[in-house]
A and B are shown apart, each in its own frame.
Chain A
C-alpha cells in the first residue's frame, strides 16, 4: 500500500486530469444536493419563509417535543438496530452454509437473488395476501385451531417489515460474503487445521478477521437499504400506519405534504448529523480493521 502512494505521484498534468474527472459530478452534487441542503439548514433556523426571522435552535427544540417525531425516531432506530445486524449475521451464515459441497450451488444463488427482480408493488401485494386479517397465514393458524390476528396492524408489524427487509437483501449480501470467504488464503486455514485449531477458533481468529472489511461494507449497504424499506411500508400501509410502523420517513413525508418546511428541515439536518457521526465511526473502524488484516 505504501509503495502505491509513492508511485502515484505522477506528473502535474496527470494529477490535474484526475481532478478534472471529479468536476462534473462535484458540480452536479453541489447544484442538486449540497447548495439546496445549505438552504435547508437556513430554513431550519428561521421562523417561517415569509418573515424569515432568525430563531436559533427553536425549531429543533420544538421537534424534540413533537410526539410524532420522537415516535418515528424510536421506530426507525429500532428497525435499523435490529434489521441491519441481523442481515449481516444471517447472510454470513448462509454464505458459510453454501461454502460446503452442495449440488446446484449456482441455482441457489439465482434463487437468493430473485427478490431483486420482483417489482416492489407486486411483492407488497403478495405479502398482503399472506398477512392479511383473512389471509393465508391466519387461515393456516385457524386450521390448527389457533386464532389469527391482523398481523400488519399488530405489534408483530415490525417483525413482518424486518422479514421483508431480510428477504429482499440477504441474497445480495450473501454473495458478497461468499466471495470474501473464497478470498481467505487456504494455507492459513490448513496450518490452523494441522495445529488442531477448533472450528470456533478458526472462525473467530481467522475468518472474521479476513471478513471484517466485507462486514463493514455489508453494514453500510444494509443501512442504506434499511432506509429504503420505507417504500414497502408505505405501499403496505399508506401515509399513516399503525404506531409501531410510523417511521422517520413517514414523518418527513407528512410534514412535507403539510408544507411545514421548518419542522422538516430541522428533522433533515438532524438526520444528516446522526449519519455523519455513524459513518465516521464506521470508516474509522474500517481503517483500523483494514490495517489489521494487511499486517
Chain B
C-alpha cells in the first residue's frame, strides 16, 4: 500500500467510535459477569445475613425467622462480615452436600468420557467414505439432537423400565452416552481434515485404525476438548433426568439438590453454588483456549 493520504477527520471519528464501542462492550461484559460475581460474593456472608436479605422471596419461613427478614429483597455484593461459615457448613459440618457433589461427578464424568469415545469413533465413520445411508443416519441424529428432553422422556422411561434400570444411575448414564450432540459437532470438524493427510499416511502404510488414532484424533484435539467441556457443563447442570428416572433422592446430583436448596437452606445456597462452580471454573482457567479453538473449528465454515 505505497501511498496513503492522511484523512485525519475520518480517523478521529473512527477513534471516537472505538471508545464508544469499548464502553458499550464493557457494560455488556459487566452484565454478563454479574451473576457469577453475585454468587461468589454472597457465598462469604453469614447465613443470617443472607436470610435477612433474600428471605422475603420465600414464604415458607417460620414466623420466628420472619421477624429478622427485611420485607424487601436486598441485593448485596459486599458482605457485612466476610466469613467462611457457609463453606464450613457445606464442606465440613454436613456431609449431604459432598455426597451429592460426588453423585454429580459419578454421573457426569462417565457420560462425558464415554460419549466422547463413541463420538470420536462415529464421527470418523461419518466423515470417511460418505454415502447415502450414512447421510440418512446423520440426518436422523440431527433430529434426535434437537429434541428437547421431554420428547425423549417416554422412550427413556420405557427403556429404563424394561431393563429394570429405574432408580439406578445406569438409567441416566446409558442413554446419555449415545446422545448425538457431540457426534454432530465432531463430524463437522473431521469432515474438514484435508484428504491429502490421509493419503500421505496411506502411502506410509497406515491402516484405517492408525489414520483414526494418529491423524484424526491429534488434529481434532482442540475440538474434542471443547466438545467434552460443553457436554460436561450440560450434564453437570442436569435437572430433568434424575427427577424422572430416580424418585429416590439418594443418587440425585447436586444440581437437583441445589435447585431445591433455593427454597430451603437459602443461607447456604450461594456457597453450594460456588462449590458447584469449581470444576467449571477450573476448566475455564486451564482450557479456555482449547474451548475457543474448538468452537472455532466446529464453526461450520466449509472449505
From residue 168 to 226 of chain A, which have CB atoms closer than 8 A to chain B?
A: 170-172, 175-176, 179-180, 183, 213-214, 216-217, 220, 223-224
Q: Are A32 and B178 in contact (CB under 8 A)?
A: yes
Q: Are B277 and A110 in contact (CB under 8 A)?
A: no
Chain A nearest CB from B54 CB (Å) reads 6
Chain B nearest CB from A76 CB (Å) reads 9
From residue 113 to 133 of chain A, which have CB atoms closer than 8 A to chain B?
A: 113-130, 132
Q: How far is the CA of A102 from the CA of B39 in the complex (A)?
A: 29
Contacts of A55 in B (CB 8 A): none
Q: Which of A14, A22, A119, A279 contacts B276 (CB 8 A)?
A: A119
Contacts of A264 in B (CB 8 A): 153-154
Residue of B nearest to A44 (CB): B154
Q: Are A119 and B273 in contact (CB under 8 A)?
A: yes
Q: How far is the CA of A279 from the CA of B147 in the complex (A)?
A: 11
- Please, how many residues of chain A have a CB less than 8 angstroms from a CB on the other chain? 106
Q: Which of B25, B178, B240 contacts A97 (CB 8 A)?
A: B25
Chain A nearest CB from B78 CB (Å) reads 15
Indicate whether B174 reaches chain A with its CB closer than 8 angstroms.
yes
Q: Are A171 and B299 in contact (CB under 8 A)?
A: no
Residue of A nearest to B53 (CB): A129
Q: How far is the CA of A111 from the CA of B181 in the complex (A)?
A: 25
Q: Are A279 and B142 in contact (CB under 8 A)?
A: yes
Q: Give the segment of B3-11, B80-88, B118-126 that binds chain A.
A: B118-126
Contacts of B180 in A (CB 8 A): 25, 29
Q: How far is the CA of A225 from the CA of B236 in the complex (A)?
A: 15
Q: Which of B39, B118, B299 contacts A122 (CB 8 A)?
A: B39
Known: A36-B156, A126-B39. A228 touches B148 (CB 8 A): yes
Q: Are A33 and B208 in contact (CB under 8 A)?
A: no
Indicate whether A144 reaches chain B with its CB closer than 8 angstroms.
no
Q: How far is the CA of A32 from the CA of B236 in the complex (A)?
A: 21
Known: A223-B146, A271-B147, A275-B143. A115 touches B25 (CB 8 A): no
Chain A nearest CB from B165 CB (Å) reads 11
Known: A31-B159, A125-B262, A272-B147. A22 touches B128 (CB 8 A): no
Contacts of B113 in A (CB 8 A): none
Residue of A nearest to B196 (CB): A7
Q: Are A116 and B259 in contact (CB under 8 A)?
A: no
Q: How far is the CA of A252 from the CA of B71 in the complex (A)?
A: 36
Indicate whether A160 reaches chain B with its CB closer than 8 angstroms.
no
Return the CB mask of B247-286 against A: 1 if under 8 Å, else 0. Answer: 0000000010011011000000110011011001100100
Contacts of B34 in A (CB 8 A): 126
Known: A21-B121, A119-B273. A26 touches B137 (CB 8 A): yes
Known: A122-B273, A175-B295, A276-B143. A7 touches B148 (CB 8 A): no
Indicate whether B61 reaches chain A with its CB closer than 8 angstroms.
no
Q: Are A25 and B71 in contact (CB under 8 A)?
A: no
Q: Are A135 and B73 in contact (CB under 8 A)?
A: yes
Indicate whether B302 reaches chain A with its CB closer than 8 angstroms.
yes
Q: How far is the CA of A294 from the CA of B99 in the complex (A)?
A: 54
Q: Are B208 and A18 in contact (CB under 8 A)?
A: yes
Q: Are B269 and A125 in contact (CB under 8 A)?
A: yes
Contacts of A217 in B (CB 8 A): 188, 298-300
Return the CB mask of B26-49 against A: 1 if under 8 Å, else 0. Answer: 001111111110110000000000
Known: A22-B126, A31-B159, A125-B273. A120 touches B239 (CB 8 A): yes
Q: Are A114 and B32 in contact (CB under 8 A)?
A: yes
Specify the main secondary structure of chain A where it touches its partner: helix
Q: Which of B148, B150, B262 contacts A124 (CB 8 A)?
A: B262
Contacts of A171 in B (CB 8 A): 32
Indicate whether B195 reaches chain A with its CB closer than 8 angstroms.
yes
Contacts of A120 in B (CB 8 A): 237, 239, 255, 259
Chain B nearest CB from A247 CB (Å) reads 9
Q: How far is the CA of A216 from the CA of B184 in the complex (A)?
A: 14
Indicate whether B134 reaches chain A with its CB closer than 8 angstroms.
yes
Return the CB mask of B103-116 against A: 1 if under 8 Å, else 0. Answer: 00000000000000
A13, A18, A39, A252: which has the most chain B beta carbons within 10 Å?
A18
Q: How far is the CA of A119 from the CA of B36 in the complex (A)?
A: 9
Indicate whether A112 reaches chain B with its CB closer than 8 angstroms.
yes
Indicate whether B92 reaches chain A with its CB closer than 8 angstroms.
no
Contacts of B199 in A (CB 8 A): 7
Residue of B nearest to A3 (CB): B195
Return the CB mask of A132-159 against B: 1 if under 8 Å, else 0. Answer: 1011100100000000000000000000
Cross-chain pairs A/B with CB under 8 angstroms, 25 sampled? A8-B128, A18-B128, A24-B122, A28-B178, A29-B140, A32-B178, A33-B178, A37-B155, A43-B154, A94-B28, A102-B18, A111-B32, A116-B284, A119-B236, A119-B273, A121-B255, A126-B39, A129-B54, A135-B57, A214-B301, A220-B146, A227-B148, A230-B240, A252-B153, A279-B142
A-B contacts besides A118-B280, A129-B75, 13 pairs, CB < 8 Å: A116-B284, A118-B273, A119-B237, A122-B270, A125-B262, A170-B32, A214-B301, A224-B146, A248-B148, A268-B153, A272-B143, A279-B146, A283-B142
